[in-house]
Structure 1
Amino acid sequence: MRHGDRIDNFEPLWTEKAARPWDPPLVHDGKVRAFCTGKKFSNNLGFRFDRVFVSPFLRCLQTASEVVHAVCAVGDIDHTVHMSSADGVVIDPTKIKVLKESLIKLKSIKV
């Protein structure tokens, strides 16, 4: 699948102020659309994901992150540890495997 809607398509002047003008992030609606696509995958495909391969561009990482969050989202069941996305969707931590290095790199990117 391709990445969601990127900011430079909606705000052309964004590149003039950006620290990384070649690497635009997603707009909010792009993240929402990616999350909804992940929910559709989860509800309709009939199989689970074991791996996700993604380009290193920020918009692609953000898209993959939202899809994975949606695929791993579960109802509010009794876990000793609760995790949630920014939208308050409960995430089952036993279904998520992420490389620490990828998260560290993603957190260090200034948008």
Structure 2
Amino acid sequence: MPAYKTGKRTQQYSNDFKIKAVLWSYEEHRSVKEVAEALDIHPFMLSRWRKEYREGKFGMTKHRKTPAPEGKLQEQDELKRLKRRVAELEMENDILKKWQRFQAEERRKSTDS
């Protein structure tokens, strides 16, 4: 894990540790912040490691995310479209509820006078 250099109090992490951290952060259900907290490092450091990993600075070939299969891309696009539509319909529903409340108050006001 971390080793201290003499004179300075900075931690040095092995390339294996960095690579494992980066790969862990690339998992779909994980965020950089969560991984950094779990490893007790600053999220900026992990982001820098991710950049260095993409550029191939850990002695490896450049990493490129494997393109998702065409079917998966279509599913993701469909999911995004459906989420937008749900949000739109929820907003319309809220507006209709507000209008209904407004009209009910107007009716109450007209019957009270």
TMscore range, shorter length: 0.3 to 0.5
Higher relative contact order (CA 8 A, sep 6+): 1
Larger radius of gyration: 2
Higher helix share: 2
TM-score of the superposition, structure 2-length normalised?
0.32
Normalised by the length of structure 1, the TM-score is 0.33
